[in-house]
Chain A
């Protein structure tokens, strides 16, 4: 099955939630280093959380039948810390994740997700644990994420989410694909170059 990856404006995401509990889950855990040995990202989806999954022998949320096809991930504090490897968000995206909600995110991880069109939304500790409990009780509920309203809700509950302004604008306008913006005004790059002493014999 060919997956559709995020493109264009990101506003509404609909789907089911799965939760991974624990603070400081680093990118080595999301995708262990031995899987970085690849020249393309395509196989990473199956390898996400490989070691944790092995340890839990099929009981890891990413292995449970009830979470097959879930596309929203709820996590706790400082998710994605550690190495800058973009393989981590790539692996999550290729497994099927399109939105992550957590107490906080490591900066590089946050940026790497943004560059793939995956919003990393934050909520308070209490809200996160409430959300996690709701999912524990019933993982079949369908949730509606609305970026513009900064919320995620199902038929009964609604949660406020936060996202810093810059990232919000980029996702909402569909301008999270940085490359094209950077090449927009090439002349300005050349001006910067001309004014850098170390590229001009320190004149």
Chain B
């Protein structure tokens, strides 16, 4: 059993009591809600005649269904409009702060909450969305929950949970030029598998992790869930504090100094015990791309699509399915695979530094003929800052579309969708069959800079060949 880890310490602070089923009632310090998983929770609450217990600890935004071209109300899609209107009504009835369209603070929930300083070290963060693990980048315990747990958290600010085991993933060295946090996490998921983390919280640590910016750290923790780990976290350090300083909801004045003292005390002790530990060398990782239908089916840009027959037995079937579905041949290089659509955005890679890195590749170049390429900033703040830096213009001049913030083609609940068998280069987090809006559409996951490179060449490209100063 783990001890002395950040996970253990934060867990202990939030334990309310042991429940009969053997799980723990855990207090939730920050509850984030959005339009997709909350309406049923609110109706269940009403049915049971329950109130929201701590309305000030729940924060709402709208992201999944928002159109990215025209955000004029009412939305042209009546269902999307109904979902947003329902959320607005629920927030109003229960006194919950809502960061809506036009508020300057709306965005994908895992982008907007950190940038407002809502997510802080030592919190428990829950949201009806599996990528809630993102917030672990701050040294919080953050995890996705289902709708009935959303109801529980609204009613009691707590939920029933089993304590996870803790695996430390120690990454030595530092990432090469042209290799990003996204490549690192795709590499880790490839190594440990999409189920490798089931039952675990992942602590990401070591020199390569410490060197990452907060945005890079969020990319890593965001995809912990794709490796099966319900939460991933990184110990808070100066990078964390620097990021939080002066944010809207960050502690100020005297409180700030006290906060730092507490936050520092939460980091895993040097003699902390982990249930499992693995070590890898970050310097040897290359740009990584998924070729299949699970985020674990990643290979480096220099590798060939694996031959299913040569894989471990338990990976063969899914690899065969993947080759068939993706219409990719075993033993062919992934580099040079033609693509149709390029998507830069999502809670994995829709932050300012993501757009910035991608824009460096795009600058002064043109999107290859016939490619549809678009950028969807993760939040209104990201969009605004990018515009201030002229990043939108770089993309527009190259032939990208520049959209309004939202989840967009990460899961295509809005009008942004793949069509037919189209294949996308995408900076999002899931390449499941049909994920991007076409039942037989295809997705290649990669870093935003790699997506930019793919857009310029019209095919999967080693971004390192296009790096420019």
A89 to B64, CA, bound (A): 20
Contact check: which of A24, A84, A178 meets B160 at CB < 8 Å? A178
A170 to B13, CA, bound (A): 25
Contacts A26-B432, A39-B39, A198-B123 given; does A84 touch B13 at CB 8 Å: no
Contact A115 B25 (CB under 8 A): no
Given the complex, which residues of B lie within 8 Å of A39, measured CB to CB? 39-40, 43, 82-83, 86
In the complex, whether B235 has a CB less than 8 A from a CB of chain A is: no
Given the complex, which residues of B lie within 8 Å of A116, measured CB to CB? 148
In the complex, whether A13 has a CB less than 8 A from a CB of chain B is: no
In the complex, whether A5 has a CB less than 8 A from a CB of chain B is: no
Given the complex, which residues of B lie within 8 Å of A107, measured CB to CB? 198-199, 228, 230
Contact A81 B194 (CB under 8 A): yes
In the complex, whether B219 has a CB less than 8 A from a CB of chain A is: no
Contact B80 A37 (CB under 8 A): yes
Contact check: which of A29, A40, A89 meets B39 at CB < 8 Å? A40
Contact check: which of B48, B144, B157, B413 meets A33 at CB < 8 Å? B413
In the complex, whether B152 has a CB less than 8 A from a CB of chain A is: yes
A40 to B43, CA, bound (A): 8
For chain B, residues 20 to 53, give those with C-beta under 8 angstroms from any C-beta of chain A. Answer: 20-23, 25, 27, 29, 36-37, 39-40, 43, 48, 50, 53
In the complex, whether A159 has a CB less than 8 A from a CB of chain B is: no
Contact A108 B144 (CB under 8 A): yes
Contact A193 B258 (CB under 8 A): no
Contact check: which of A26, A28, A115 meets B148 at CB < 8 Å? A115
Closest to A182 in B: B156
| Chain A positions 13 through 49: 1 when the CB is less than 8 Å from some CB of chain B, otherwise 0 | 0000000001110101100111011111100000000
For chain A, residues 47 to 92, give those with C-beta under 8 angstroms from any C-beta of chain B. Answer: 51, 54-55, 78, 81-87, 89-90
Contact A78 B152 (CB under 8 A): no
| Chain B positions 216 through 236: 1 when the CB is less than 8 Å from some CB of chain A, otherwise 0 | 000000000000101000000
In the complex, whether A142 has a CB less than 8 A from a CB of chain B is: no
CB of B48 to closest CB in A, whole Å: 7
Interface size on B, residues (CB 8 A): 77
CB of A79 to closest CB in B, whole Å: 11
Contact check: which of A37, A165, A186, A188 meets B22 at CB < 8 Å? A165
A81 to B198, CA, bound (A): 10
Contact B29 A188 (CB under 8 A): no
For chain B, residues 254 to 287, give those with C-beta under 8 angstroms from any C-beta of chain A. Answer: 255, 258-259, 261-262
In the complex, whether A3 has a CB less than 8 A from a CB of chain B is: no
In the complex, whether A167 has a CB less than 8 A from a CB of chain B is: yes
Stretch of B168-176, B385-393, B434-442, B457-465 that contacts chain A: B434-442
Contact A51 B48 (CB under 8 A): no
CB of A70 to closest CB in B, whole Å: 24
CB of B197 to closest CB in A, whole Å: 9
Contacts A33-B412, A178-B159, A188-B16 given; does A166 touch B23 at CB 8 Å: yes
In the complex, whether A155 has a CB less than 8 A from a CB of chain B is: no
For chain B, residues 68 to 108, give those with C-beta under 8 angstroms from any C-beta of chain A. Answer: 77, 79-80, 82-83, 86
Contacts A23-B317, A24-B294, A115-B148 given; does A85 touch B162 at CB 8 Å: no
In the complex, whether B129 has a CB less than 8 A from a CB of chain A is: yes
Contact A24 B194 (CB under 8 A): yes
| Chain B positions 409 through 451: 1 when the CB is less than 8 Å from some CB of chain A, otherwise 0 | 0011100000000000000001011110101000000000000
Closest to A168 in B: B21
Given the complex, which residues of A lie within 8 Å of B122, measured CB to CB? 197-198
CB of A60 to closest CB in B, whole Å: 13
Given the complex, which residues of A lie within 8 Å of B397, measured CB to CB? none
Closest to B158 in A: A182
Given the complex, which residues of A lie within 8 Å of B86, measured CB to CB? 39
Given the complex, which residues of B lie within 8 Å of A126, measured CB to CB? none
In the complex, whether B290 has a CB less than 8 A from a CB of chain A is: no
Contact B83 A37 (CB under 8 A): yes
Given the complex, which residues of A lie within 8 Å of B149, measured CB to CB? 111, 115, 178
A116 to B149, CA, bound (A): 11
Contacts A40-B43, A179-B152 given; does A106 touch B65 at CB 8 Å: no
Given the complex, which residues of A lie within 8 Å of B48, measured CB to CB? 179
Contact A36 B318 (CB under 8 A): no
Given the complex, which residues of A lie within 8 Å of B432, measured CB to CB? 26, 28-29, 82
Closest to B19 in A: A181
| Chain A positions 161 through 203: 1 when the CB is less than 8 Å from some CB of chain B, otherwise 0 | 0000111011001011011011101101100110111110111
In the complex, whether B348 has a CB less than 8 A from a CB of chain A is: no
Contact B40 A55 (CB under 8 A): no
Contact A170 B21 (CB under 8 A): yes
CB of A124 to closest CB in B, whole Å: 14
Given the complex, which residues of A lie within 8 Å of B413, measured CB to CB? 33-34, 36-37
In the complex, whether B120 has a CB less than 8 A from a CB of chain A is: yes
Contact B156 A82 (CB under 8 A): no
Contact B15 A192 (CB under 8 A): yes
Contact sample, A vs B, 13 pairs, CB 8 Å cutoff: A26-B432, A28-B432, A28-B433, A82-B432, A83-B129, A86-B148, A112-B148, A183-B50, A192-B15, A192-B27, A196-B14, A197-B262, A198-B251
Apart from A51-B433, A166-B23, what 15 extra A-B contacts exist at CB < 8 Å?
Answer: A28-B434, A32-B439, A33-B411, A37-B77, A55-B439, A82-B430, A83-B430, A84-B130, A86-B148, A89-B146, A107-B230, A115-B149, A185-B17, A189-B157, A201-B251
Q: 10 closest A-B pairs (Cβ-Cβ)?
A: A166-B22, A86-B146, A202-B258, A112-B146, A84-B130, A170-B21, A86-B147, A182-B156, A115-B148, A39-B39
